[in-house]
Structure 1
Amino acid sequence: MWAGCLLGWGLAATAAGRPAREAYAAPEVDRSFALSAAAVVRSRAVLPLAAAALVCPLSALLLGVGTGAAGTWALFGLAVAPAWAAAVLRGAYRPEVDWAGPVVSTPMGVVPAGVGATLLQGPDVGVVGSLPLLAALVTGGPTLLLAAVQAGWSLLLAAAVLAHLGGRRPRR
């Protein structure tokens, strides 16, 4: 169940993060706004947060329909939404793959060394942010205390990602 939630939420996050990724690839778009770099990153978080706040509770609600605690599951899904919005932004603002360095030959062609670490930036925050969900699944269901822990953990991760991305130098 946990892997299914991660996969579904990751796909929804990828779709919601597309505009932020395109804006990162074309930084002149962000420079046209009279906003600081931190404010631009925060504004880019609105769409992913809205999408995650819709998808995560609905899927968690479906998870909880058979348990009799559908409302608690939906609350739990809402609590994980900030972590997935942060994952979207971290993935959107990850550096481009560096083709100037050494490459590794694979059956599908050459790829830059270290491409796996680059591609994991973003989903790693979502997976770490969803660890309380794994605890809820293992212990038999969410409690209000575990939902509060999930909300606090998600908000902490989201604040850390926003602070990190907002303090980065804009791409030239």
Structure 2
Amino acid sequence: MTEMKILPVERAIEWIRAWAELDWPITWETAYATRDKLGWKPAPDDGRFFTTELSTNGQEDGHMSRLHGQCSGVSIPLCSRNLQAEPNSPWSSSLWQAYDATADTLTQLYGTGKQTGDRSDVLQTDWILNNQVTVSLLASSKIMRAMLDSPEVTAIDQQELYYIEKYGEDYVDD
């Protein structure tokens, strides 16, 4: 049986800040160096995928995304994947406490984020930083992750939101 872990808030913030506060855009060399500095192990066939100390049975639990050949973001687990977790279980209660503490710390660092969703499904809080990196904190009763998007991806997302607000959810993007 694999031990299920929730990353301590201080360590979660360290991982998030290591990426959020880079001078974007970043090279693959910088992305891989940041991954390695945090002690994450690259997949043998593709360094964009990696395992962290939270990995379940050695499975890759994080990845870097690519846009136009460059590193455009990273998805970081903040707990072990616990697909058997039930809402209102001790695990999910601990997970929500960690989410709240992490969100509070990110708010102290980066200001108020925009929250969407709810605890009955998926709760997400997004911060757009001064350097235009988007930090997203996501959680459900089974998992919590941080996703960071480059300024280029942030600009694409903001343009998409503009068109949705202007033309509605069903606009045609040709």
TM-score w.r.t. the length of structure 1 is 0.30
Rg (Cα) greater in structure: 1
Report the structure, 1 or 2, having the larger strand content. 2
The structure, 1 or 2, with the larger RCO (C-alpha pairs under 8 Å, 6+ apart) is 1
Name the TM-score, length of structure 2 as normaliser.
Answer: 0.30
